[in-house]
Amino acid sequence: MRDVGLTSEQLSHGLDAIATREPAIAAALERVGYPEPRIRPKGYMTLLRTIVGQQVSVAAAASVWNKLEAELGEGFAPHELLDRDFDTLRACGLSRQKQGYARSLCELVASGDLVLHELPEDDEEAIAQLVRIKGIGRWSAEIYLLFAEGREDIWPAGDLAVQQGVARLLGLAERPSEKDTRNLAEAWRPHRGAAAIFTWHCYNNPAL
């Protein structure tokens, strides 16, 4: 299992494999080219950043993160956050809800109940482990497994941009539902991770 997201070579290989059986993907590749890799560090910090960034702007999330690092130190360990009280974390910009999510993550990691470098190889089992964290749903778990672990067949069918990207790529009249998006990509196994990254690359792309 990889320790980083899908590389350029893996993306190209996966998309080329899909293009041999999906003419619409082959045509789109010729028009927009291959996507850039989307890689995040493996470990709890990436999941904590996901929690911090939920429902706020990129700038607001960066501000909160900078305050956390100023208080806890760069690369802080889970116990550093757990040792701080509510008001200290509130001053860093973490709401009560997000403090609950952050503590859930840090408690699972600090206790050894969640070992992020030893997640199950089966994707669904790994997702089940991750969604035990408060505030981490299936979509966040899938994004983590795709960007941080480079799992090649992750398909976040609930992502609206993925759904819209599929509609554009396949010339559909409307955005497909999550169930339809999942079904449409069955033929793209085991390279659906590359396909997901390609849908984001194509979303609102003026070349299409």
Note the pLDDT tens digit of each residue in 106-138.
Answer: 999 999 999 999 999 999 999 999 999 999 999
3-state secondary structure 106-164: HHHHHHCCCCHHHCCCCHHHHHHHHCCCCCCCHHHHHHHHHHCCCCCCCCCCCCHHHHH
pLDDT at 205: 84
Q: What is the rounded average pLDDT of the residues 83-110?
A: 98
pLDDT at 3: 55
**Residues near 182 by beta carbon (within 8 Å), at least 6 away in sequence:** 155, 157
Residue 20 CB neighbour total at 10 angstroms = 9
Q: What is the rounded average pLDDT of the residues 198-203?
A: 94
Note the pLDDT tens digit of each residue in 29-52.
Answer: 999 999 999 999 999 999 999 999
CA distances from 9 to 22, 56, 162 (A): 20, 33, 21
CA–CA separation, 163 and 177 (whole Å)? 7
Percent of the residues in the chain that have a pLDDT greater than 70, as a whole number: 99
Give yes or no for a contact between 101 and 134, defined as CB atoms under 8 angstroms apart. Answer: yes
Radius of gyration of the chain (CA): 19
Residue 1 has pLDDT above 50, yes or no: no
Tokens 């509609």 -> residue: 167
pLDDT at 71: 97
CA–CA separation, 158 and 53 (whole Å)? 19
pLDDT at 155: 98
Catalytic residue numbers, as ranges: 159
Residue 4 has pLDDT above 90, yes or no: no
Residue 25 has pLDDT above 50, yes or no: yes
Find, among 71, 54, 70, 53, the residue nearest to 62 by Cα.
53
Of 204 and 62, which is predicted with more confidence?
62
pLDDT at 29: 97
Instruction: Report how far Cα 157 is from the mean position of its chain's Cα atoms.
Output: 12
What letter does residue 205 receive in the DSSP assignment?
Answer: -
